[in-house]
A and B are shown apart, each in its own frame.
Chain A
Amino acid sequence: MTGLKAGVSEDFAELKQVFGFSGYPSGVALFNGRQRALLTQFEGSEPAATLKQLGFIY
């Protein structure tokens, strides 16, 4: 349907407890286990601009 290459985790409850939950779609960028950014904008240039700035995409 979407073609997104990702693993699937059903540990939502555990992750929600740690990072909170900002609705869907949303994303958390982790670097070496630490939260670098919370992404809640998925329109226009986002999240590409933020992910590129963080070095998560090229």
Chain B
Amino acid sequence: MRPLEPAVWKTAFAWVAGVALSVLFLASGLWKITDPQSAAMRMSQALVPESWSLFAAVAFGVVETVSGVFVLVPRFRRWGAILTGLLLLAFLGWFAIHYAALRGADCSCFPWVKRAVGPGFFIGDGLMLLLAAAAGLWSKPPGSPRTAALIFAAVAVFAGVSYGVDMAHRTGTLAPAAITVDGQRYPLRHGRTFLFFFNPECRHCIDAAKSMSQFDWGDTRVVAIPVEEPQYSAQFLQ
């Protein structure tokens, strides 16, 4: 009899939970590390202060990636479960605090999956929290802290190199840090933005805007800038 060994089904469930969490957190973390500017833009949209959004994107990218690796490897799974659990609690807390402002908006949790902030978001993250608890409780005690530290350092270095490469590839005229759009300050230095210069009374501009209204813009933000007759802008865009 081996009373300290968890039941086989618990070990199997810990594996399934670990793999599922690993896929989710690696996808989210690697996306933030490899495209920090876009991740920062999404964080700004999720009400993270603009001045902190880039740092937050890189930091969360590193921690999420490390969590994804740890929760996959049996000897680090408990640490991974603790990290993913803390991250999920942080996300749940943030969206609960800002629920009124962010309700219905994309949570920007994953690069390809759209998840609107609402009851379903909290249920989904709650289930992930349960998976993390199962993965942590039903895994063997963690070991090899040195190897774990090396993994953390490697991911951090990778994030730093990725950020450096991103910075080095920045060429082209630099836009103002922000402009005023619909009466609000509007950052221009994160993600994709299309500035459209038009005259509301110009027939060619109307045709161009009608054509562009059919485009699938994805995450690209469009800002219309009237060069004349700004009082007719709203009518132009209707």
Show the binding face of A for B, using Cβ within 8 Å.
1-12, 14-15, 18-19, 21-22, 24-36, 42, 47-48, 51, 54-58
Contact = CB atoms under 8 A, between A and B. Distances in A.
For the complex of A and B, the 3 pairs showing the least CB-CB separation, nearest first, are A33-B189, A2-B209, A42-B208
Given A21-B227, A24-B202, A30-B175, A9 B180 contact: yes
A34 B174 contact: yes
A7 B211 contact: no
Interface of B: 37, 166, 170-177, 179-182, 186, 188-199, 202, 204-213, 215-218, 220-227, 230, 233-238
Contacts of B230: 8, 10
Given A4-B196, A7-B222, A15-B175, 10 more contacts: A1-B238, A3-B210, A10-B180, A11-B225, A24-B198, A32-B191, A33-B174, A34-B172, A35-B173, A57-B220
Nearest to B179: A11
A15 B172 contact: no
| Residue among B217, B230, B235 with the highest chain A CB neighbour number at 10 A | B217
Contact of B224 (A4, A36, A51): A4
